[in-house]
């Protein structure tokens, strides 16, 4: 039996002595011991676990059957951990069994908090579906089919209703065209819940499923990690025809999960289902397959763009500037992603990189209208830089309502508006200007996701979006989350899951610390590029 003491294992900001993620574990153990502890956790070798405020005890299975070690971890008032394990490992202060126990505790705590957050998120949408949403049946059977739904209480809600495709009243197989459904990972939204509430009031007869449904499934109820990739699944009708069963058996396994890797597996399924009326390929599954395909092509496209600029000596056609190598990388990153954040330090030329990437999209992706949103004090600078580097028309939005609407209809390649105008002119921006590319400068102004101004910017629907900021994270992770909603709401997932995943919460669900930050950085690296002056000073 080995007893050890680890000094200052608990940083001042930690909410509890036993909450460790991968980053914090490096204060206790080497990479090899941590990897062994992770392997023990994945093999479910932590057989029992109990903890209070100062003591954690666990039983961890050893390397051979029927061999187990008792682990005891205590925290003293100074934050030092005293660990006891029955094993004879004494090469380092902490053994793999202690690491496995700490990881199991963090996993259990996070699982409980995520489950609680999911329950609250579902309850909220059910309540709002009953009290805020008006629904109307459009096509299909009196129960299943197409419904429309819109929010009655939100003055900023779109005038056009969202479309709900109702497929089931018992399972989360339904879809909605609203932005919340696309990213909330719950399989429902307030509009779907509004339809279900209406059917419950009518006591509508529920027909049997008439055709096969292919849909996107999040593992919320299966005990799986929600950060894992969702699965594309099929639900068969009650009495499928033999021919239908034979076709689906080629594409789906016994659990109903699509076989093979995306996007190729989806392409094969689409080909077989092309002329069949008894297979419904859900828009949610189709959109997921498209996102996977796009992700796989981004790296190759970024390399091709950067190499083309480098072969031209740092010049991009249509841009009157010679780009430094790091700026070339930034242009390629923005242009290849289409939706991305550039978080370079001030003075590294974020404006030039965004303009150059916009020019590439104009020349190669049929972009015709670019909307630049920036502080009022920077509008003239943006106009001057656009005209200097590209010679393209750039219009500043200003004046009263009538002149502004005329400016939106002018059809300039670049339209420049300040933040305050977005909420005032949201309808004109969406219906008259209809930009292909949105560039948001000084995006830290969107850090408070609860403000109406931030909500207005995020409601703009564009094919492409560049977000520019020198300070993506100032005080809270929620600031970063809010800004990322303009880039791609799928990257960080729904807020109800983001909070417990990357924060440690107290008994009142208030964030009191951070965790899983290494994972957060990995998730952001494909859509956020940050360089400081030290990296590019040469």
pLDDT value for 150: 87
User: What are 332-382's pLDDT values in tens digits?
Assistant: 999 999 999 999 988 899 999 999 999 999 999 999 999 999 999 999 999
251-275: average pLDDT: 93
- Token look-up 């998120």 returns 121
Q: Which of 35-49, 57-71, 482-496, 498-512 has the lowest average pLDDT?
A: 498-512
How sure is the predictor about 23, in pLDDT bands with cuts at 50, 70 and 90? confident
Long-range own/partner contacts, residues 34-38 (CB < 8 A, 24 or more apart): 34/99, 36/96, 36/99, 37/96, 37/97, 37/98, 37/99, 37/100, 37/102, 37/103, 38/99, 38/100, 38/103
Q: Is 427 exposed, middle or buried (0-12, 13-18, 19+ CB in 10 A)?
A: exposed
Average pLDDT rounded to a whole number, residues 8-35:
73
pLDDT of 498 above 50: yes
Say if residue 155's pLDDT is above 70: no
Closest of 302, 296, 288, 251 to residue 272, by C-alpha? 251
Number of residues in the chain: 538
Q: What is the mean pLDDT of residues 321-341?
A: 94
Confidence of residue 81 (pLDDT cuts 50, 70, 90): confident
More confident residue, 228 or 331: 331
Supply the DSSP symbol for 242: H
Q: How far apart are CA 443 and CA 445, in angstroms?
A: 5
Residue 163, exposed/middle/buried by CB under 10 A (0-12, 13-18, 19+)?
Answer: middle
Would you state the pLDDT for residue 13?
42
Task: For residue 10, name the pLDDT band (cuts at 50, 70, 90).
Answer: very low
The answer to whether 407 and 456 have CB atoms below 8 angstroms apart is no
* Structural tokens at position 465: 């979006």
Which of these ranges, 4-18, 125-139, 226-240, 339-353, has the smallest mean pLDDT? 4-18
**Chain-centre distance of CA 427, in angstroms?**
26
pLDDT, residue 479, reads: 83
pLDDT in tens, 216-240: 987 654 433 445 578 999 988 878 8
145-151 vs 46-51, strand pairing mode: unpaired
Measured over all CA atoms, what is the biggest interatomic distance in the chain, rounded to whole angstroms? 81
Residues 105-110: what's their mean pLDDT? Answer: 84
Q: Which has the higher per-residue pLDDT, 211 or 48? A: 48
Spatial separation of the C-alpha atoms in residues 168 and 139, rounded to whole Å: 15
Q: What is the mean pLDDT of residues 469-490?
A: 83
More confident residue, 267 or 228: 267
* pLDDT tier for residue 474 given thresholds of 50, 70 and 90: low
**Distance between CA atoms of residues 92 and 491, nearest Å:** 38
* End-to-end Cα separation, the chain, in angstroms: 55
Q: What phi, psi does 265 have (nearest 5°)?
A: -60, -40
Q: Which of 155, 157, 162, 156 is nearest to 135 (CA)?
A: 162
What's the mean per-residue pLDDT of the chain?
86
Q: Give the sheet arrangement for strand 279-281, strand by strand.
A: 231-235, 212-217, 279-281
Measured on CA atoms in the order 299, 463, 484, 537, is the torsion positive or negative?
positive
pTM higher than 0.85: no
């Amino acid at each position: 039996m080995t007893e050890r003491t680890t000094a200052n294992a608990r940083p001042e900001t930690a909410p509890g002595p036993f909450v460790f993620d991968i980053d914090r574990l490096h204060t206790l153990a080497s990479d090899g011991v941590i990897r062994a502890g992770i392997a023990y956790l994945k093999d479910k070798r932590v057989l029992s676990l109990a903890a209070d405020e100062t003591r954690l005890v666990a039983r961890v299975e050893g390397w051979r059957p029927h061999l187990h070690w008792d682990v005891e971890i205590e925290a003293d008032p100074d934050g030092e951990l005293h660990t006891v394990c029955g094993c004879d490992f004494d090469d380092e202060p902490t053994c793999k069994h202690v690491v496995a126990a700490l990881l199991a505790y963090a996993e259990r705590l996070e699982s409980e908090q995520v489950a609680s957050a999911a329950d609250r998120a579902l309850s909220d949408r059910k309540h709002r579906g009953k009290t805020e949403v008006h629904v109307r049946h459009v096509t299909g059977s009196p129960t299943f089919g197409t419904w429309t739904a819109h929010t009655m209480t939100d003055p900023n809600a779109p005038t056009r209703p969202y479309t709900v495709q109702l497929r089931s009243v018992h399972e989360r197989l339904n879809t909605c065209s609203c932005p919340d459904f696309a990213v909330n990972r719950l399989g429902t939204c307030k509009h779907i819940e509004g339809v279900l509430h209406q059917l419950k009031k009518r006591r509508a007869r529920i027909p049997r499923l008439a055709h096969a449904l292919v849909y996107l499934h999040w593992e919320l109820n299966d005990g799986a990690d929600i950060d894992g990739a969702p699965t594309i699944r099929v639900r068969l009708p009650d009495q499928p025809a033999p021919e239908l069963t034979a076709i689906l058996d080629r594409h789906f396994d016994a659990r109903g999960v699509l076989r093979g890797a995306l996007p190729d597996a989806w392409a094969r399924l689409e080909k077989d289902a092309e002329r069949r009326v008894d297979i419904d390929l859900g828009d949610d599954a189709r959109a997921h397959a498209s996102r996977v395909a796009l992700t796989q092509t981004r790296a190759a496209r970024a390399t091709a763009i950067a190499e083309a600029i480098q072969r031209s000596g740092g010049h991009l056609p249509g841009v009157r500037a010679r780009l430094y190598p790091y700026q070339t990388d930034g242009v390629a990153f923005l242009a290849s992603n289409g939706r991305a954040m550039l978080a370079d330090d001030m003075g590294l030329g974020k404006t030039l990189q965004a303009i150059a990437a916009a020019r590439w999209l104009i020349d190669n992706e049929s972009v015709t209208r670019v909307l630049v949103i920036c502080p009022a004090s920077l509008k003239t600078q943006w106009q001057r830089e656009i005209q200097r580097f590209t010679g393209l028309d750039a219009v500043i939005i200003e004046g009263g309502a009538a002149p502004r609407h005329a400016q939106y209809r002018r059809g300039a390649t670049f339209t420049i508006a300040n933040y305050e105008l977005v909420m005032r002119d949201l309808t004109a921006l969406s219906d008259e200007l209809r930009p292909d590319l949105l560039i948001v400068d000084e995006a830290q102004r969107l850090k408070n996701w609860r403000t109406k101004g931030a909500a207005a910017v995020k409601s703009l629907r564009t094919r492409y979006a560049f977000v520019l900021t020198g300070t993506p994270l100032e005080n809270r992770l929620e600031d970063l989350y809010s800004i990322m909603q303009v880039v791609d709401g799928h990257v960080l997932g729904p807020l109800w899951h983001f909070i417990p995943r990357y924060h440690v919460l107290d008994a009142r669900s208030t964030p009191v610390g951070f965790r899983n930050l290494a994972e957060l950085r990995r998730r952001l690296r494909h859509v956020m590029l940050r360089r400081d002056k030290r990296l590019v000073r040469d």
